[in-house]
Amino acid sequence: METEIQQLVSMGFPSAMAAQALSAGGGDLLKATDWLLNPPPNHSPPPSNSTPPNIQPKINQFFHLHTNKNQTHQEHDNIDGDEDSPPLLLHRKKRQKSAEIYETTQKPSAAPPPHAPLSERMRPRVLDEVVGQDHLLGKDSLLRSAIACGRLPSFVLWGPPGTGKTSIARAIANSSPLLRFVPLSAVTSGVKDVRDAVDAARKSKTKRTILFIDESTASQIPTDSFLPAIEDGSIIF
């Protein structure tokens, strides 16, 4: 039962509602999901204070010691005088510029053409337009803080069709001008497509590449084809 509850919670449902849905569905995950999406008329949601808020740690706290070390060096350098070496100054300026760009207000990308399908025209273009999935994109979420400080890691978006996996990935790519979005379908793409995307990412000096593999569960692409690029930071997977 705990496994099913965790699966429902990972879809964005509160744990109390997940437990209630599994109880109503006799422990069947599909029935519980249908119950959550189409609750009975006499169902009333649990009070908002039934579960504690899910506050995730900020990702920059994992680099707290590194930040303190840099601050200590900076204070020491200020005492000794302006004797910083050019490489160190260049590194600091790059880090400061990167943080400023990530902290700028999100600007929606160009609107889709009017003849595009309704699903494409209604797709959120920036993170603030995404409705739901607060456990991923809330103000105190780990993913939001990772985007804010420019340390976006590789990760997996898991869930049933229509829950916004592709939309969230595109919105993340639009959250910063330092990111470029390269979508590939695991059903139609092969090793050559992955290698071409990795080569293009390594040639791009001004932007980091988000390589989005859709339908990854049906992928026939060997993981060895993109694992080295993930490990050396050439792509965000």
Q: How many Cα atoms within 13 Å fall on the side-chain side of residue 158?
A: 8
Q: Which residues pair with 235 in a beta bridge?
A: 209
Tell me whether residue 6 is in a domain. Answer: yes
| Structure-token pair, residue 117 | 């399908």
pLDDT higher than 60, residue 93: no
Same domain for 126 and 230: yes
**Residue 195: inside a domain:** yes
Assess if residue 172 is contained within a domain.
Answer: yes
128 within some domain: yes
Nearest alpha carbon to residue 217 among 130, 135, 157: 157
What CATH number is given to the structural domain containing 136? 3.40.50.300
The whole-model pTM stands at 0.52
Q: Is residue 29 part of a domain?
A: yes
Domain boundary residue among 47, 62, 84? 47
Task: Give the containing element (helix H, strand E) for 209.
Answer: strand 208-214
Number of domains forming the structure of the chain: 2
Q: What is the pLDDT of residues 41-79, one digit of tens each?
A: 766 655 555 555 555 555 555 554 444 444 444 444 444
Residue 59 located in a structural domain: no
Q: Report the SS3 class of residue 231.
A: helix
In terms of domains, do 128 and 223 share one? yes
**Looking at the structure, do residues 232 and 122 belong to the same domain, yes or no?**
yes
Please give the structure tokens belonging to residue 69. 């070390």
pLDDT at 14 over 60: yes
Same domain, yes or no, for 27 and 128? no
**What CATH number is associated with residue 23?**
1.10.8
Query: Residue 223 belongs to what domain range?
Result: 118-236
Are 39 and 140 within one domain?
no
What pLDDT is attached to residue 104? 44
Residue 167 domain-assigned (yes or no): yes
Which residue reads 């995307």 in tokens?
197
Asked if residue 179 lies in contact with residue 172, where contact means CB atoms within 8 angstroms, the answer is yes
On whether both 136 and 27 belong to a single domain, the answer is: no
97, pLDDT greater than 60: no
pLDDT tens profile 18-46? 888 888 888 887 788 777 777 777 666 55
Asked if residue 36 belongs to a domain, the reply is: yes
